[in-house]
A and B are shown apart, each in its own frame.
Chain A
Amino acid sequence: MTLLLIVLLPFLGALIPPLLIRRGRTVAALAAGAVPVAALALLIPLWPTVRDGGVPRWRIPWLPQIGLEFDIRLDGLAFLFAALVLGIGVLIVVYARYYLSERDPMGRFYALLLLFMGAMTGLALSGNLLLSAIFWELTSLSSFLLIGYWTHRADARDGARTALAVTGLGGLALLGGVLLIGRIVGSFDLDVVLASGALVKADPLYPVVLTLVLLGAFTKSAQVPFHFWLPGAMAAPTPVSAYLHSATMVKAGVFLLARLFPVLAGTDLWFTLVVGAGLLTLIVGAYSAMFQNDLKGLLAYSTISHLGLITLLFGFGTAEAAVAALFHLINHATFKASLFMAAGIIDHETGTRDMRTLNGLWRTMPYTGVLAVIAASAMAGVPLFNGFLSKEMFFAETLAVPPGVAWRWVIPAAATLYGVFSVTYSIRFVYEVFFSGPGTGMPKEPHEAPRWMRIPVEVLAVLAILVGIFPNLIVRPLLTASAAATTGGVIPPIELHVWHGFNLPLLMTVIALVGGFFLFRRLNVLLSVRGGYVRSVSAKGLFDDGLFAVLRMARRLTRTLETGSLQRYVLYFVLAAIVLAVAPVVRHGWPLGAETSVPADGPLIAGWGVLVACAIGTVVWRRQRLVALIVISGAGVMVTLAFARIGAPDLALTQLLVEVVTTMLLLLALHHLPQEAAAGSSRGRLVRDGAIALTAGAGMAAITWAVLTRPFSSISTYFLENAKTQGGGTNVVNVILVDFRGFDTLGEIAVIGIAALGVTMMLDGLHADPRGRPFLMSRDRTPLILTSIARPLLPFALMMSVYIFLRGHNMPGGGFIAAILTSIAIMLQFMANGIPWTAARLRVRPQPVIAWGVLIAVATGVASMLYGSTFLDLAFTYVDFPLIGEVELATALFFDLGVYLTVVAAVILMLTALGALSSDAAAPDDYASEGDPWRS
């Protein structure tokens, strides 16, 4: 439980500073500082257990299906890393309090810092590889926000983006690697994974795993060629740089190498990749560091090179090398953090970080100077400072490379060269800032920093010295515990001595110190030769160019696909349908059955001819709108006849009436569409479309044909048998519509209703250009003939509808057909008498009627629920109407009434709305503004 708290504290703590910032910056800082202190207070008591090889653990399943557990596990390595993160975290909090200016939002700063701290601690303590991957990405995300903290600065934004892109990429690679490891091992549990190194290394996927994991580690630890994000990240406030690039962010990469050391290390591939990358980074970093004029730039490249050193050591794959690596990890954390903070102080007090401007600060800032000298000496590996010891071990290891490695001699040579470079840039750091020049000409008048700003640096400097002089006393136990955890038990006795006697490593150190000194003396020459040219710029440039290239490609791809042309999209749709429908035919052939249909006769063939002619005619005359309209309704009529011929009277009736209404609608709309023929498509386009259309048509014909030749046994026999007995109607189609599948019909009227409402909504506030009188709508109030026919016609039409409606359940007819009849009759009145006259006499707003219609249908259904059955379970009895004869009076009738009302209202609403759109028969804005003439 304490373990859980250690991890959660920073996350929870992150909420506090933003809340307390009103109470003042110091309060916020204290609150923020209290968090890592508390976490440490929980962590340190566990030290004895860990030292004696115990592994405290707290776990709870999170996503057990794939083996993800929230699993906190504290071994030596985890302890070391967590201690570093939290410990230096405290110092950073203190430092930042005085570094940040009044303008900087400090609450946000501490919140983000604590978030990041939590992610790092979680990474250190995670006992489940998948969980590690999660915390890993969290560090990338939170560091992104920290690097971009000064959002107004372009370099900060760019630095943050680059850092996230690179480390995020690495993180996803790592995720892949981790998942593969889980696949090979069968678990993400660290104990299991660490125990199955042999298994993993033997697996054919091992190279892939290794590549992916290393991609993660190298991007995070800024190994060449992924190092370029680190200098860019220097745009962050110095406390952030000091934290990210000394103890935490970049160390996560090498921590990963340490964590998976037993699983992945020790193979030739590992040696080649890791040593190779480390060596390259070591040199490139150190070399570039010498030529930086920006203090933080120098430190950044030196960080890169030191990370190369640590990586290189892990690359050797031996226990001894691992110990050295961990030792240097600790030392680098201490001296690099202090150096960054020192640089920050200098920047803070002088207003610049440019070594060409800085000079002679020893006079004004001797105290800071001392601290800087100490830290720089440690960085340069001067004896009696901690950097010296781990560098000695490093040199020793480079000499201990097993024979058989072809280019083994390169490694110590490169190491020495690195030593030279590091001495050079360390000297440059100290000399150019503190000793060259009179100490004038800087943006601000320099003076010592506030007390509390120096304290963190002091602490670290003192540590650097103590470790340097009494290593065994201070770090040996920690080192032993962590090394044991890293290598998996077998570690050599660790001997830490300031004086090893005369040996090769010492010689290398001497060469480094002397060579470095002389190189520094000649540095100006080099500088002038080489100018400000910085190696990594090209890497960053390549990265940016790469991104830009991807962007261009993406833009081109999207433009070619999403052309914005509907014709293209429809084409894709049709082609997709054709391809997918044809594919199975290719594979399974197209066998036809033996079933036959009724033979064709004269009338049929004639009708067929007319239908085909009409279809083609519609295509041909598509530009002469009225002609096209007439021809297509010809096709509609033929379809109607076809329905009648194959024994579907209801269909025939419906089709015919719908045809009429649709034509009315189109005529009304047509009036507003341009009459002039629009320019047609190119010949090629027409041919192409024609070919595709014919293919699709042929396909449909083929499907129809194939189905018609097959035997058929349908559920319909049930309907024929039960329509009368169970549904109480003889018109089976109608019984199906209102009873067997009444639920469909309910949906159908809902659609009609919504469509009508949608139509009115679309016409809202739509003003037609008043180009004369719309079709059908009479301008002159009472066109005599039409009126004298229409008005008396209405009653008959209505009676007819009632009759059709009532008999619908037994004979062709029913609610829908009756409804269309009625609406046609009513539309006739509109045509004859114009909207105002008719609307005034109708006195019903159609919109509510639509709703009522559907509601009645629903109510019928709900009623049956109340009678203990399911929704829409209809009942019936028989009543004998005069004139009409025996009528089965079913609840179906109410349902059909709902249908009737909805459809009438919907049709009337749509047609009148359209008509009203440009009707000049009465105050236009009255309707045109609201497509609904009844609205008042």
Chain B
Amino acid sequence: MSALSHLAILPILIPLVAGLICVLARGRLRPLHRAVSLVSTLAVLGVAVALAVRTGAGELLVYRPGAWPGPYGIVLVADRLAALMLVVTAMVALAAMLYATSGGDGRGRHFHAFFQLQLVGLNGAFLTGDLFNLFVFFEILLIASYCLLLYGGGERRTKAALHYVVLNLAGSALFLVGVGTLYGVTGSLNMADVAVRVALLPPTDAALVRGAGLLLLVVFGLKAAVMPLYFWLPNAYASATAPVAALFAIMTKVGVYCIVRVFTLIFGPLAGPGADTILPWLLPIALVTQFVAYGGAFAARGLRRQIGYLLIASVGTMLAAIGLFTRDGIAAGLYYLIHSTLTVAVLFLVADLLARQRGADTDRLISGPRLIEPGRIGTLFFIGAIAVVGLPPLAGFLGKAQILAAAPATASGWWLWAVTLTGSVIALVAITRAGVVLFWQTESSPAPAAPRTQGRALPVIGLVAALLALTVLAGPVTSFTTAAADQLLQPAGYISSVLGGP
């Protein structure tokens, strides 16, 4: 086997080894930690891009750790969707990591170890083709996220973490119930195999298998932060350190990814008794989520909490598009997913730049000290705000336009229209209020000893550049997401290449 043939497992192995090296490196924080972390993240980005290129060319990479055939061993599968998620993750991770190296990673031990292991969990979740292995990677990314969330200490973080951890432990238990039931009914764990077996089940198993699917929806919904399972998010993200919050922008997308994967592959239209299990559920859930989230963004008294709610709203937006379960809907949703991840990361980092210069590390939406670099931070914020509201000319607008265009001329379609458009108006007013207060309605003098942004701005600018690229290259990117959607809606190819010999 050539080195290239191992491509699909590298996004897991590289950060794993890097993380372990970071643990071995003695001392709290040394240049070595940063170097290893940086190299690893860059390498993962490179691999991810390579995977995107190959899957983009129509290839579907199947990797079998242990070289066990068919459904018996664990299998990693890189299709377009997985590659897409990997690339987005790597991009956000790189920015967050660079931002952290300007000081955020010195507040305690093991930052880079946790960071890399977080990547292991994320990438593994995107790549694995095995339900129980998915559970394992969920646990990795969760335990790592617990540590990252608590990173830096402090009362607010402890409080937020307590909620986050307990809820997710309950979620993990439910995950096992769902997977267990599916195994009990189908006798397999390999997603492709389970898909085949579910389709062959007798109609008398409908309730059981659908129930199992919907339990998994609850688990994934908890990660994706949809109504009524999102309550852990605003405080958690608002209290996490900036680079962690930025990295967490991808965390909710893991839930979204799993929903797309499981409910197109296992519970798709061809799934016999399990067919279209969440078709009636997802769109309403997504719309309600948007509604309450925009409300929360409007009500927010702090910038970070507002961003958190806008993040939830964006999850609702993309899930609404995906909830259509049409090619265009899924494609639009995936495009919006890229946009929203980058945007939210930008905003969380900008919020930190801003809070630092306002002194007392505050992002409260009240008149405060004047920024010493209003132009620089203001521009970044303005771009991020336009993007997150979905105003022209940025990707957010193109994404929403795609979603609206994909909505069918049915009652649900019009609901999607109404919620998306009115939501945008609310978001516009809300973020305008925040921006005006933070940047214009300031005291005449800056805070004492306010730090300049210096190198911190670079990763943010990098993300903004990526956002602009996503805007300009909307055409090509959308054809990729569309191809990904096709791949998801015709799982036959996926199944055959997974179950076909080693």
Contacts and interface: CB of A to CB of B under 8 A. Distances in A.
Interface string B176-187: 010001011101
Interface stretch (A375-383, A486-494, A505-513, A709-717): A709-717
A566 B136 contact: no
A712 B202 CA distance: 13
Nearest to A870: B67
Nearest to A747: B136
Interface string A179-212: 1001100000000000000000000000000000
Given A66-B401, A706-B208, A742-B66, A551 B299 contact: yes
Given A715-B193, A760-B109, A761-B147, A550 B421 contact: no
B432 A715 contact: no
A588 B311 CA distance: 36
B461 interface: no
Interface string B93-112: 00000000000000011100
A33 interface: no
Contacts of A850: 23
A741 B190 CA distance: 12
A707 B66 contact: no
Contacts of B440: 148, 151-152, 157
Size class of the contact patch on chain B: 35 or more
Interface string A563-590: 0101011101110110011111101111
Contacts of A302: none
B316 interface: no
A23 to B, nearest CB: 18
Nearest to A745: B136
Contacts of B16: 750, 854, 858
B58 interface: no
B207 A587 contact: yes
Nearest to B217: A580
B455 interface: no
B222 A851 contact: no
A886 interface: no
Nearest to A140: B391
A612 interface: no
B66 A851 contact: no
A183 B1 contact: no
Contact of A712 (B72, B143, B184, B190): B184
Contacts of B66: 739-743, 870-874
Interface string A126-155: 000010011111100100100010011010
A751 interface: yes
Contacts of A144: 432
B358 interface: no
Contacts of A703: 177, 181, 208, 211
A596 to B, nearest CB: 15
Interface stretch (B257-265, B347-355, B473-481, B489-497): B473-481
B221 A557 contact: no
A764 B426 contact: no
A715 B478 contact: no
Contacts of B137: 747
Interface stretch (B38-46, B82-90, B161-169, B243-251): B161-169
Contacts of B153: 764-765
Contacts of A599: none
B412 interface: no
B429 interface: yes
A63 interface: yes
A145 B433 CA distance: 13
A64 interface: yes
Contacts of B294: 554
Contacts of A765: 153
A141 B188 contact: no
Contact of A554 (B124, B215, B231, B296): B296
A852 interface: yes
Contact of B188 (A138, A160, A572, A714): A714
Given A179-B401, A747-B124, A851 B207 contact: no
Interface in A839-885: 847-848, 850-852, 854-855, 858, 861-862, 864-865, 868-874
Interface in B26-73: 63-68, 71-73
A871 B429 contact: no
B479 A65 contact: yes
Closest 8 CB pairs of A and B: A714-B187, A584-B210, A134-B392, A580-B214, A707-B184, A151-B440, A747-B136, A554-B298
Given A554-B299, A764-B109, 4 more contacts: A66-B401, A141-B391, A715-B193, A869-B67
